[in-house]
Amino acid sequence: DGGAQLEVDPGVHLLLTEDSQMLNTAIFLMRSSSWSLDLLQRVWGPGDSPFVSHTWWEQAAFAQELLGKNHRLFAQPFAEGMQPLPYPPEVRVVPQFEINSYHPISCRSDEAWRRGRFVLSFNGAQSLSGPMVARVLHANYYELFCQL
């Protein structure tokens, strides 16, 4: 229905995606709120954070902050056979293709970018295929996007 109005849950502050590596923070949507500001301050933390020199520093820092203590938080529900959500209640996981589609080299088939999808992400293009292939991918998609 074109006239339907979508409602946003006021308790949701962060929309993110997961890929085959799990949490993916290359692209995420965050509500402007004190919860979000507090999360970013904890994630980016002090200058001596162990994540500053990490290859995927913000990815690792987000994963530690959002998931790092789950082995303690969810030990009891797992022992009782329940399947708890791994993220805090303020976080929702959306299908990757909705906000973070990959190019064919580094995606699962249902997540590949195609016309009409929101964002094309080149995560892993260079590390999976080399710098020359990455440059060719960028050039080819640039040409395609100029035609849209």
Do 63 and 126 share a domain, yes or no?
Answer: no
Shared-domain flag, residues 104 and 125: yes
- How far are the Cα atoms of 33, 65, 113 from residue 8, in angstroms, in the given order? 14, 24, 26
**Do 74 and 100 lie in a common domain?**
no
Please state, in angstroms and rounded to a whole number, the distance separating the CA atoms of residues 112 and 104. 6
Q: What is the pLDDT along the chain (148 residues), one digit of tens a residue?
A: 566 777 779 999 999 988 777 788 888 999 999 999 999 998 887 777 888 777 777 888 888 888 876 655 555 555 555 555 688 899 998 888 888 777 777 776 667 777 777 777 777 777 777 888 888 888 888 788 788 7
Q: Can you tell me the distance from the alpha carbon of 12 to that of 31, in angstroms, rounded to the nearest whole number? A: 8
Residues 72 and 111 occupy one common structural domain:
no
The one-letter code for the residue type at 31 is R
Predicted model pTM: 0.71
Q: Which domain holds residue 127?
A: 95-148
- Looking at the structure, tell me whether residues 119 and 82 fall in a common domain: no
What is the pLDDT, as a whole number, of residue 15? 93
- Among 46, 78, 93, the domain boundary falls at 93
Rounded to 10 degrees, the C-alpha dihedral 116/117/118/120 comes to -120
Query: Is 147 part of a structural domain of the chain?
Result: yes
pLDDT score of 95:
84
